[in-house]
Amino acid sequence: MSQESLITPSTREQLAELLLAQPCPPAFSQDPELLNRYGQDLDGSHCQPAAIVWPESEQCLKSLVLLANQHGLCLHPLAQGKNWGYGSAKGTAEGQIIVDLSRMNQVLEVNEQLAYVRLQPGVTQQQVFEHLEQNHSGLQLDITAAGKHTSMVGNILERGFGHTDYCDRFSNVLSLKVLLPTGEVIHTGMGCYQHSVAKDIYPYGIGPFIQGLFSQSNLGIVLEMTLALQPKPDYSLQLILMTKYQQAASKMVACVAELKQQGIIQSGVHTASMSRAFGAASKNMQGAWVLTASLSGPKALAKAKFKVAKSLLLKRIPQSRVIMVTEGRLVLLQRLNKWLKLTAIKDLALVMQLKKGIPTDQPLQTLLDDDKANSQMSAADFPANFRWICAVSSAEPSAIETLLSICHHTFDQHGYEPRVTLTNISPRAVILIANIRFDKDPESCAKAQAFYQQMDEKLLANGFCPYRSGSGQFQQYRPALTAEHVQLLQRLKQALDPGGILSPGKYNLD
Ligand SMILES: Cc1cc2nc3c(=O)[nH]c(=O)nc-3n(C[C@H](O)[C@H](O)[C@H](O)COP(=O)(O)OP(=O)(O)OC[C@H]3O[C@@H](n4cnc5c(N)ncnc54)[C@H](O)[C@@H]3O)c2cc1C
């Protein structure tokens, strides 16, 4: 059965009948207005689903998967559906059934001794944070800047990154429980054994490393994720470097790579353009780049690391200022700010909050230049559109210079203000995240589309390739992949999802 045929009115009723006939029928909706909201992406595109279902149990999900195989239906799972800038909640093609897992939202276990949490897919960042607080946990969460009500599992499966020492989030996944598109349930890691005392805590298991198959893919629906948490550090401080020199960025990034290789800095380090860090408020500020890193551990160690990092940074980037912000200093600054009225203090507090794993909607407000924006909104409620441009680079200065020159040239050419962050995600690699914010009218969308197309083409042509595409822009990157890689993906998809029921085409798995 073709996917499009499902949205014709006659089969709409058939679909409802099929769902109602399930052993445990899920809640579902075919309300056109709601379908429209789920189909709306922030790049201005739209992809209308056939229905939204809200399963509440594994059994219900399993029968949906079997139903899809029997009747040639396509499912597209969402944790919270807030993949903003990478496709939002839209499926990979029209007429799919969006499987909204937000009602499977239990924090199943927190193990204080071994420092991990076991989660269902619909759990939000705020929920885990509150759970840890209410139970006076000694553990801290790594969070993204996407907001309180975005998911843990969806973001981590997309290999998103956070703001603490555990910033490469997928590398902190310890095990997954997965429903395969053919209906079987498997456990990754030591869960491959019928009995193991280390079931949820040793990701490699034995034999091939399976876990990675379920990230950025459509090879299974993740039912549970076990995630390492960080013991709350005794002491932490923020290192902040500011410079007004545009050319300094490549040196900053290279120096941070060196500090990471030496083990001085462990956290993800973000080097942001002023407009990216402060939004519209940056118009009244001087400066080109602001770098934030977090250093934690026993107080003496964190301070010693700061000293080493500051000295190397100032040696490499003499035209900059490096400051240390601690909890105590921030409180003092906030008090003084009743008179000083510096807008940057609010942003300083935000950095501290993110680095301590406290979810916040403030970055969303900065991105949209809208104080009322919050992460309970869906893409359809956003006052403006945007899409991320992401690209992986080496931390070598020449690569960063080429990358930034492409960005600045393209931003200038299209008349947009450059909003750019460079994140030292590892001791060697850097991820560029750039975006524009544009109005929702067709003319602004077309202008933005031209900008994005040119930027994507130029970046790819120079070897700066994306690390993530969500359900957004996967097809356009296909020609840039090697033919052997695409063939391998196709073989995997055919082997694990012979009925092609799960998000066909996502990340070129079709
Ligand atoms: C202001 C702002 C700041 C942001 N900051 C960050 C940041 O710091 N770091 C970052 O990485 N991103 C960031 N984002 C991007 C994005 O909003 C987040 O990544 C967000 O967490 C993704 O939405 P979600 O958690 O609801 O995941 P979802 O949209 O629910 O899921 C994401 C993807 O995972 C798949 N998926 C979800 N659940 C399952 C499952 N159980 N089984 C199989 N597949 C599944 C979905 O099909 C989808 O493709 C930011 C966005 C904004 C607007």
If you write DSSP's letter for every residue of 431-494 in order, what string do you get? EEEEEEEE-SSHHHHHHHHHHHHHHHHHHHHTT-B-S--TTTSHHHHGGGS-HHHHHHHHHHHH
74 Cβ closer than 6 Å to some ligand 1 atom: no
57-90, pLDDT tens digit by residue? 999 999 999 999 999 999 999 999 999 999 999 9
Q: Check pocket membership of 84 for ligand 1, CB cut-off 6 A.
A: yes
Q: What confidence category does residue 368 fall into, taking pLDDT thresholds of 50, 70 and 90?
A: confident
Query: Residue 284: what pLDDT?
Result: 64
Helices (H) and strands (E) in the chain, counts: 15, 18
Query: What pLDDT sits at residue 283?
Result: 65
Other C-beta atoms lying within 10 Å of the C-beta of residue 414 = 15
pLDDT given at position 6: 46
How far does residue 470's CA lie from ligand 1's centre (Å)?
8
Higher local confidence (pLDDT), 285 or 468: 468
Question: Nearest to residue 333, comparing CAs of 243, 325, 366?
Answer: 325
Cα angle 84-504-490, degrees, rounded to a multiple of 5: 120
The answer on pLDDT for 333 being more than 90 is no
For position 11, what pLDDT does the model report?
81
- Sequence length of the chain is 510
Which residue from 83, 214, 506 has its CB within 8 A of the most atoms of ligand 1, so it is best to mutate?
A: 83
| Distance from the alpha carbon of residue 387 to the mean position of ligand 1, in angstroms | 13
pLDDT confidence of residue 276: 76
The CATH number of domain 235-325+359-461 is 3.40.50.2300: no
* Rama region for 306: left / alpha / beta (φ>0; ψ in -120 to 50; rest): alpha
Q: Ligand 1 mean position to 244 CA, how many Å?
A: 33
The Cα 51–Cα 91 span in angstroms is 11
Q: Is 75 in the pocket of ligand 1 (CB under 6 A)?
A: no
Q: Do domains 4-101 and 107-231 have the same CATH topology?
A: no
Which atom belonging to ligand 1 lies closest to the Cα atom of 143?
8
Which of 33, 11, 45 has its CA nearest to residue 449?
45
First to last CA, the chain: 16
**pLDDT averaged over the chain?**
93
Residues with Cβ within 8 Å of 336's Cβ and at least 6 positions away in sequence, in order, are: none
Whole-number percent of the chain with pLDDT over 70: 96
Across residues 354-366, what is the average pLDDT?
A: 93
The predicted pLDDT at position 2 comes to 43
Q: Is the CB of 380 under 6 A from ligand 1?
A: no
Are the beta carbons of 286 and 225 closer than 8 angstroms?
no
- How is the chain split into domains, by residue range? 4-101, 107-231, 235-325+359-461
Which residue among 88, 141, 158, 509 has the greatest number of ligand 1 atoms within 8 angstroms of its CB, and so is best to mutate? 158
Choose the residue to mutate in 157, 161, 506 for probing ligand 1, maximizing ligand atoms within 8 Å of C-beta.
157
Which token pair is 63? 């029968």
Burial of 4 (0-12, 13-18, 19+ CB in 10 A): exposed
Task: Average the pLDDT over 214-243 and give the result.
Answer: 96
Nearest CA to ligand 1 atom 20: 83
Q: What is the mean pLDDT of residues 135-160?
A: 97
Cβ of 154 closer than 6 Å to ligand 1, yes or no, is yes
Query: Ligand 1 pocket, 507 CB below 6 A?
Result: no
Q: Is 160 a pocket residue for ligand 1 (Cβ < 6 Å)?
A: yes
Rg value, the chain, Cα: 23
Task: Inform me whether the pLDDT recorded for 469 exceeds 60.
Answer: yes
DSSP state of 108: E
Q: Band of the pLDDT at 4, cuts 50, 70, 90?
A: very low
Options 3.90.1010.10, 3.30.420.10, 3.30.70.3270, 3.30.465.10; CATH for 107-231 is: 3.30.465.10
Q: Provide mean pLDDT across the span 415-443.
A: 94
Ligand 1 pocket check for 151: Cβ under 6 Å: yes
CATH for 4-101 is 3.30.43.10
Could you tell me whether strands 289-297 and 385-394 are parallel, antiparallel, or unpaired per DSSP bridges?
unpaired
Could you tell me the pTM of the whole model?
0.95
Instruction: Pull the structure tokens for residue 338.
Output: 């009743």
Assigned token pair, 413: 């050419």
When pLDDT is cut at 50, 70 and 90, the band that residue 418 belongs to is: confident
DSSP string, 394-408: ES-HHHHHHHHHHHH
Q: Is 362 in the pocket of ligand 1 (CB under 6 A)?
A: no
Query: 4-8, 43-47, 283-287: lowest mean pLDDT where?
Result: 4-8
pLDDT at 9: 45
Residue of 201, 178, 172 lying closest to 189 (CA atoms): 201
* Residue 97, ligand 1, Cβ within 6 A: no
The secondary structure of 56-81 as a DSSP string is -SHHHHHHHHHHHHHHT--EEEESSS
Identify the helix (H) or strand (E) that includes residue 136: none
Spatial separation of the C-alpha atoms in residues 386 and 400, rounded to whole Å: 24
Average confidence (pLDDT) over 119-144: 97
